[in-house]
Structure 1
């Protein structure tokens, strides 16, 4: 009977110097063999049987292994500091797992991306980019420069949920889609979920990108930064009260505007810049309570002025996000802990045009905005080391301004449209992870989501289940099924990466979108090499997805200019989609050589009643084959090499099949008065662009000083063999015949960045 008694050991595993929690630390008990890993905050809970001398091992790559021999007579709180492994010790081999194993657990279609690898991947202009790295993963469309958004398993860019410390970031891009808004220096973890969604996630159809800002060093001041060709960045962290509280502030700004301005003629000026700021203030009140305040603020601005005689034109376009989270972590006892969060998010884009010609004046101001205030509370209950529960509630007040338009023109009446829509989105969820038998792990849950407006309300149950069965100690077969509902939508009238998007809510005539996805695959860990391998197949059916009607736009529509009323509702249409495919990933996550091979074979089709005569058509970002080869090699402590090669089937596009021209004749005159031509476009997206492929290479020269200071020269070449990839096609007339011509965006582009740490 004594063996039926269990006690709980719990606590935090932290870095001995910085006191920050370490995620993914392996914790093993002997005798008994039970084990677990720390969560993203470094917290663990372990259920063990009584013992006079149990040995508990804490291991983590890059840190010395710690072993504790203790007597287990009751529940116990055990906080453990881990020290970094000294570089000069060569005879000691530390066996640990820095990242979660893929064969353990029930999660499927989930990828953890090491921050160190994100920083090593060569990118455009030397700016290390979280989302561009995610685009190199299987199942995520990448390619065309200038096109913003992730296209995950056939879904559109508005079907992805970007979370930064639980706060939603709506448009996570700078420079018209070339760079993401997230500074890798400030991030602790990045995780991509493409399917098999746990019940804690909701509100989007295709993926979740969950990012966490790291805690600052609470022992000493530390700084790092970089100076590049187009931008510079700086991160500063340190203690507020040594050992108890910390801060981290990370900022970045471009200086393209300052470099370009002197080169432009005095009558024609313009510029562009972006900046962003991340911060986190962390307070350990006592062993059971922690409070943190974190946030992000970023802006982009493009402006231009043209003067010519009596003409004076000015225009600017700006957009940006603000997001912040105030969170309280509380430990009730060894089995139960919770987090309560107050979350704020605000996205706005703003267009302003002012034209003068003599006494005539024309002004346009267009603003679109979505603002959220959320309250979230989540309980984590460790019933045992093989049985955990997650219970949560999140409620969000959405305030939308899809269109706020002011239009003035000399000789015409002013037009002003400023509509505001409020809605409440609430979800409750229950998630249970358990092991009914030793080799089988199941994550079963349900999310009940609701959406309430002034005139309409919706409630949908969202069942979720995923499971993993270990065929051997390192190989598992996994499967998952999830239903997701989405109540707010991103619709765009262009595909060139400009943020000409509306975030619009579910309305009386626009119903919530829904996706049902099933995935099945094999996952394998390769012990001792920090390497994982997975192959997955998936099928996803989407209902009531939202887009603009063919030829529709939201700028200067007749309804706005002539009727003084909003038009976006009339220009939207809903349809359905089908996506299915096969994904392969071989990922080495640490070591002298690291990187991954990713391959996707996929199909994505759409159908809208008001598009393509109601017939199915391939989505623009349907790609039959997609390949990514990414490698990083540490030639020595002073020289690191990296390279990326990508290949993708060309995007689907619509090209005219034929053009018919004629002459209209007026019988009351002696000749023709004009001509009229008709264009036959045929089936939508019937043609393909040329295949996309590109090679990027990089090299780092690192020097470490005895004082602990470090400097790095980072050289990279984007599109190393200067492939002329298609950006868009257009029709041109040559010798009386129409021909198709291609426009390419980026040739070979070298860059250099100076990085420093102290």
Structure 2
């Protein structure tokens, strides 16, 4: 801690001595350091290029203007290094503004702009700048926002991870040390990940079966483009999600020149390559690979951890191949391998507890690859078809060691899942004010799941799951977006799902309306029905009392939601937003035993099948989440930014007993503050120094009292079923801090960032648990301080 205080003080003194940011960067840089901005502008509804769009690039009092050509392309050479505001305007379209555009020396800025039709009876409007984070998907209704890779890099505690960045948004609570998030009181497993328009496997290292997060993200922000995040209000095209969704987009590689980025740091050592396949070609490649730094140090013979070294590697790629007449093809994918091998000390005199004398191996391998085809059939219609393959393997093995160090199997779990998916859609623009989108999806699921663990009652291993097979799920949707006037926009649609394993149908209507009350105010309302498949291990897990039975006929969990939102734009760079919501969950899988208050709303992955309270499941449970959220956001302008968000909510479930309990995710409240400041520095003011901070203050997690006498008798934790989640830990408090320095040389860019999570080293309590070795109750805490340091060079 003393070192961290010294480092923090040094950085603070450095920032005080930096030259003040008195002058905006010159638009035409007469110095040696300059860069190119280029891109294309298309119609959001038709995907056709827009010519004659006025592109205005400004910084302070200076500005430059030009127009897009007949292919919608534009190019600005000789742009000085720094931050800019870029505006795109065309009669009949809403003005598009990018207020945080960062120009660096090591990489060209390549923009893909999509402009949206605006009714001709538009009143005078406020030009919304960076504070407007509306989703890219024009069919979105409520509870969504876009985010940029640059934001992900900048936020303190984000560690280049979109999920950790999202922990700062209203309605979101950190679920623990990993990057799982609680969205409006829902289980983290109810979140969906999508890439390029199709569902993908959980893209996080060290994830469990059925989880949506993990210890480290597989995503590399160097390949991401601006993407969407939703906490509800999903349009009809989204299926298999109860709470929210990450709808990620990969950017296209540079089509004119080769560019490289090399990264090294605690998070890993990696490289990103991009460029055209051939000179003069519009086809491009984008590839990123990363390998665990700690694993490399171990291979070099250095001892870096006493409890097992986390080993991981990941790969992301996007190959884009336009054709003259057949449309645009793209091959994209993301995948990663991760494992940790924690071996017990081979000196039994040091063993103080049972866990000290065990070897544990954990692994999670996952990946998704897809082939996408976009075909523009005319001025009104385009088709999008995607075929993808996803696979994941989650494994876990624990061996108990004898005093002679012989291994005796205690727990073993292996979950292999694979999915072939097809997603096809048609987008038809009836006229500029009316768009219809319809599509079908098919998912063919294969699985091989096995779990066994030690049963202290029989003093032997007991099989919990052992099933191999396949099933399928089919979806169809249609949705209509109508801009009735400049003030009123209507989104309606319906989603249908058929799940073959349970032979069940789900018809899910969706409705959303947006009313522009005034030029700077709007009111939105969205409602709909949603469903999500549970982890397949629950469908086949054996009942502890009746091993011959399982829950294979389970239907998907369903949810009916309604949200009302109000936004107020105070100026171009400050926005207030509040949302109130209610969510009714039904057809929730719960225990068939009315004396066991077990619900899948109360777990985050498949690990609950280990619980002594697990029983055969039936779709007779319910739940409810409701709350209100507030946020005030100022994007990065004039060298600083901030966002203050807060949420008040309640999250409950009912099992067969009909008694209502808190979910374990019901923290009741959370408040977040993120802020940061940038300073220009260097001889020609080409470099940037930044400092960022984040404060999280959330209610304590709920947990259940333990029946200590029964736990001691059975040698395993037994909770009091009549008082599930009636206890609350102390509030969760965390402060994150980051400092970055960006150096812009003539043709090379350097980026150094130090990110410290939990800088105050507070070990937040997550609950109490039974320690079978000591036969007492003990606190379970989250990790303390986590410092990281990373360096990236771009050229």
Scaled to the shorter chain, the TM-score interval is 0.7 to 0.9
Q: How does 1:221-232 map to 2 (within 5 A)?
A: 221-232=258-269
- Which one of 352, 364, 367 corresponds to residue 322 of structure 1? 367
CA distance in 2, matches of 1:376, 1:19: 31
Give the Å deviation of 1:491: 7.3
- Which one of 487, 495, 505 corresponds to residue 459 of structure 1? 505
Q: Does 1:57 align with 2:54?
A: yes
1:300-341 deviation line (CA, Å, top 9, x unaligned): 101144585999975422112110110111111111111111
Query: 1:712: which partner in 2?
Result: 751
Q: How does 1:337-486 map to 2 (within 5 A)?
A: 337-353=382-398, 362-363=408-409, 365-403=412-450, 418-453=466-501, 456-486=502-532
CA distance in 1, matches of 2:347, 2:754: 46
Give the Å deviation of 1:105: 8.2
Query: 2:30: which partner in 1?
Result: none
- Which one of 655, 662, 669 corresponds to residue 625 of structure 1? 669
CA distance in 2, matches of 1:577, 1:644: 32
The secondary structure found in structure 2 opposite 1:131 is helix
Query: 1:496: which partner in 2?
Result: none
Q: Does 1:606 align with 2:606?
A: no
CA distance in 2, matches of 1:557, 1:382: 49
Q: Is 1:21–1:43's contact at 8 Å kept on the other side of the alignment?
A: no
Query: 1:43: which partner in 2?
Result: 47
Alpha-carbon spacing, 1:168–1:61, altered in 2? closer, same or farther (3 Å): farther
Aligned length: 669
Query: 2:11: which partner in 1?
Result: none
Extract unaligned runs of 5+ from structure 2: 1-34, 89-95, 99-129, 208-213, 350-356, 540-549, 600-604, 681-686
Give the Å deviation of 1:718: 2.4
Q: Is 1:647–1:693's contact at 8 Å kept on the other side of the alignment?
A: yes
Query: 2:153: which partner in 1?
Result: 119
1:438-482 deviation line (CA, Å, top 9, x unaligned): 3110011111221223xx412222111101011112211100011
CA distance in 1, matches of 2:782, 2:767: 9
Question: Which TM-score applies when normalising by structure 1?
Answer: 0.78
Query: 1:684: which partner in 2?
Result: 724
Of 380-389 and 304-313, the range deviating more from structure 2:
304-313
Q: Does 1:141 align with 2:173?
A: yes
Alpha-carbon spacing, 1:727–1:20, altered in 2? closer, same or farther (3 Å): farther
Alpha-carbon spacing, 1:406–1:241, altered in 2? closer, same or farther (3 Å): farther
Of 675-684 and 132-141, the range deviating more from structure 2:
675-684
Q: Is 1:658–1:680's contact at 8 Å kept on the other side of the alignment?
A: no
Query: 2:627: which partner in 1?
Result: 581
Higher strand proportion: 1
CA distance in 1, matches of 2:86, 2:226: 26
Alpha-carbon spacing, 1:413–1:461, altered in 2? closer, same or farther (3 Å): closer
1:324-370 deviation line (CA, Å, top 9, x unaligned): 11011111111111111111111211234567868987457531122
Extract unaligned runs of 5+ from structure 1: 1-15, 26-36, 47-53, 70-76, 494-505, 560-566, 665-673
Q: Does 1:544 align with 2:537?
A: no
Give the Å deviation of 1:578: 0.4
Alpha-carbon spacing, 1:327–1:20, altered in 2? closer, same or farther (3 Å): farther
1:112-151 deviation line (CA, Å, top 9, x unaligned): 1122111011227xx32110111211111215324x5222
Question: Which TM-score applies when normalising by structure 2?
Answer: 0.74
CA distance in 1, matches of 2:368, 2:717: 51
Q: Is 2:392–2:416's contact at 8 Å kept on the other side of the alignment?
A: yes
CA distance in 2, matches of 1:404, 1:449: 29
Query: 1:201: which partner in 2?
Result: 238
Q: Does 1:289 align with 2:327?
A: yes
Query: 1:184: which partner in 2?
Result: 221
Q: Does 1:694 align with 2:734?
A: yes
CA distance in 2, matches of 1:728, 1:342: 44
Q: Is 1:166–1:325's contact at 8 Å kept on the other side of the alignment?
A: no
Query: 1:72: which partner in 2?
Result: none
Alpha-carbon spacing, 1:677–1:729, altered in 2? closer, same or farther (3 Å): closer
- Which one of 705, 715, 726 corresponds to residue 655 of structure 1? 705
Task: Compare CA radii of gyration and give the structure with the larger one.
Answer: 1
CA distance in 2, matches of 1:649, 1:235: 40
Q: Does 1:108 align with 2:142?
A: yes
1:19-48 deviation line (CA, Å, top 9, x unaligned): 7656xx8xxxxxxxxxxx647xx93578xx
Q: Does 1:276 align with 2:314?
A: yes
Query: 2:190: which partner in 1?
Result: 159
Q: Does 1:724 align with 2:771?
A: no
The secondary structure found in structure 2 opposite 1:420 is strand
Query: 1:517: which partner in 2?
Result: 561
1:555-585 deviation line (CA, Å, top 9, x unaligned): 99999xxxxxxx9983677521100000112
Query: 2:792: which partner in 1?
Result: 755
Q: Is 1:203–1:485's contact at 8 Å kept on the other side of the alignment?
A: yes
Query: 1:503: which partner in 2?
Result: none
- Which one of 618, 632, 640 corresponds to residue 690 of structure 2? 640
CA distance in 1, matches of 2:556, 2:164: 29
